[in-house]
Structure 1
């Protein structure tokens, strides 16, 4: 399926110097799928509807203050390749070009709507992300903000004192309460007011109840609910028990599944690939394969490497977090680490991944040995 079958010309173009007040009014009056931002006629980036609605940037600011750089795709590109581009670019909207001319846009939702009928073959258990970050009800907003920044995520499930799913807190929830409080205070009071906000427990701002799915639900059914209710993700719980958190399913997880291949070499997907500096995609693939080969019984179905840039820098080189997640025949295995520059952070994460792979190998070996002993005892 070519992206020409999915892309739409339902977009509006604005100049980077346009006031955000006008951009907001365009979304309210015309409800386009997205807005393309240009600078003197040249493509600059995009502004998505959700991004704008959840932003509290003042109306007098320029459109360029909210522009997100989005990778360009061609009308003739295959839908799998476009899904990869969206995931690796960390964006939910991309401009579509034809003969170097802007033709339209494509969004995460439009791709999912187009492939929905083909998602019955997958269950949530096939593609969801395990080992998600969670917080407790008494976690302070300040602590939650640090976790969101550290892991480069926009939402975390909230657990009660018994470790059961209680709610969900998102960056939007936090921004809402901060802006509301700032609107109520005077300029001189804001510093102290903000400190008080950071000490508020997430229980006071979280959303509840939480939309959930289980590992047995078909991806088609789960995605349908996300599209119908404008959810970006669902908390994954065990079948028949929606109080335990085992993972999360996001639209990005589904897009990532569309890119799975049966190539001779391991398929490696890299989010925020533009952060790669002194290493290449091929270097990343070869190094991960070198770690995986230490456990010959394990087959990798898909590898995902995510880079997230922090503001901190050392002699001009940004602090970067790297997360490596493998979906294998032995389950999901991950490793993460931080370093200055993509290469250093990747190597730290790779070392952690290797330790986890070898630990899993030892555990499996112990289980096999225990099984052999039990069989022998049974024969006595």
Structure 2
């Protein structure tokens, strides 16, 4: 049996930091009737990725996710009400450890904060959270202990399509650009999606030098990479990495040793370090032996789906069972996920265990989306009747 660890937090009774000390006024607050033509430019200018949508009573009714809008290529004429996501949020009385867990699970950079009546109070950024928990990181923790490795890189002459494919395939948000052994730039997934969005717009509103998406994807990485790159050594204290990320306003650092790239450290990696001193392992039980090549792929599929699901519901319990059938020729996967309101179960079979897991997780995802949409429609009808 293979055990894949999933981290859940145990409340930290010795750490009394109050959430109210960390929240700030949201730079962008959206009304349901606002159009994307006014929302997207503000979010882009302020580098905001999550904007709360409120009604006339300041109650949170949804969120606008910047990267989600760009990926879906939502028309600029769309109203917020037609493209907003369910209102994932943090309650003002939340325990800091649970807040860390939410940020880690969803990979979000900002979270709306609400009071007991669902009214928007402000927003909490991952940057402020990192600063708050910095002194609670494991003693003597080094960058190299928590950086993502081995690191994927790309060259300046590689095309943009390859960079996008690598990031999507491996579930990463940034790629160091290297010329030989020298770090010369970085490409982020958000920047790529943003540029694709604008080059895909009608010519009269298009921004940039590319005539369309096809030309953009064929362009060399050197034409769109960011040359201002912040790096840090693997032997540096993790607290120093937090200070650098916060002061420079970046979400990750390239880790270099002797001039060569050896890893990438993100804000989520720092949250993982914080959780290490408090973790409870809730295992995903696999009833077959999985080879070392398949295990990271299985973890990636599960974590990518959980990241999306955690934005919609609060995950209370989660388990996966994998069983061999027909002498190992096929695999049966059963996924059980419990949220605050319901237990979701899905099964799938395939010759490839990774494909079977992906199919089962997709079914769970669709079940949750259906429930969330149904609940949203019910609330909408109730408001109309009132």
Q: Structure 1 length normalisation: TM-score?
A: 0.61
User: 2:210·2:216 contact (CA, 8 Å) conserved in 1?
Assistant: no
Matched with 1:6 is 21
Where structure 1 has 5 or more consecutive residues not aligned to the other structure, the ranges are 288-316, 319-334, 346-380
Return closer, same or farther for 1:176/1:263 CA change in 2, 3 Å cut-off: closer
Deviation at 1:85, TM superposition (A): 0.7
Partner SS state of residue 138, structure 1: coil
Q: CA RMSD in A?
A: 4.7
Once the two structures are superposed, residues 167-220 of structure 1 have per-residue CA deviations (whole angstroms, 9 ceiling, x without a partner) of 211235435655676689689xx9985333222121222222521111111122
Tell whether 2:87 aligns with 1:80. Answer: no
User: 2:199·2:211 contact (CA, 8 Å) conserved in 1?
Assistant: no
Return closer, same or farther for 1:52/1:227 CA change in 2, 3 Å cut-off: farther
Where structure 2 has 5 or more consecutive residues not aligned to the other structure, the ranges are 1-15, 285-301, 323-346, 349-353, 365-386
Task: Give the Cα separation in 2 of the matches to 1:191 and 1:210.
Answer: 24
Matched with 2:325 is none
Matched with 2:275 is 259
Matched with 1:283 is 319
User: 1:70·1:89 contact (CA, 8 Å) conserved in 2?
Assistant: no
Tell whether 2:213 aligns with 1:194. Answer: yes
Partner SS state of residue 80, structure 1: helix
Partner SS state of residue 123, structure 2: strand
Structure with larger RCO (C-alpha < 8 A, sep 6+): 2
Matched with 1:233 is 252
Return closer, same or farther for 1:17/1:136 CA change in 2, 3 Å cut-off: same
User: 1:17·1:64 contact (CA, 8 Å) conserved in 2?
Assistant: yes
User: 1:80·1:258 contact (CA, 8 Å) conserved in 2?
Assistant: no
Deviation at 1:234, TM superposition (A): 0.5
Partner SS state of residue 51, structure 2: strand
Return closer, same or farther for 1:181/1:149 CA change in 2, 3 Å cut-off: same
Matched positions, count: 293
Deviation at 1:83, TM superposition (A): 0.9
Deviation at 1:156, TM superposition (A): 0.9
Return closer, same or farther for 1:13/1:210 CA change in 2, 3 Å cut-off: closer
Tell whether 2:210 aligns with 1:174. Answer: no
Partner SS state of residue 245, structure 1: strand
Task: Give the Cα separation in 2 of the matches to 1:33 and 1:55.
Answer: 15
Max radius of gyration: which structure? 1
What does residue range 1-380 of structure 1 map to in structure 2 within 5 Å? 1-8=16-23, 10-11=25-26, 13-23=29-39, 35-38=51-54, 43-47=60-64, 59-64=76-81, 67-69=84-86, 71-102=88-119, 103-119=121-137, 121-160=140-179, 162-175=180-193, 178=196, 193-238=212-257, 241-242=258-259, 244-262=260-278, 265=281, 270=303, 272-273=305-306, 275=309, 281-284=317-320, 339-342=358-361
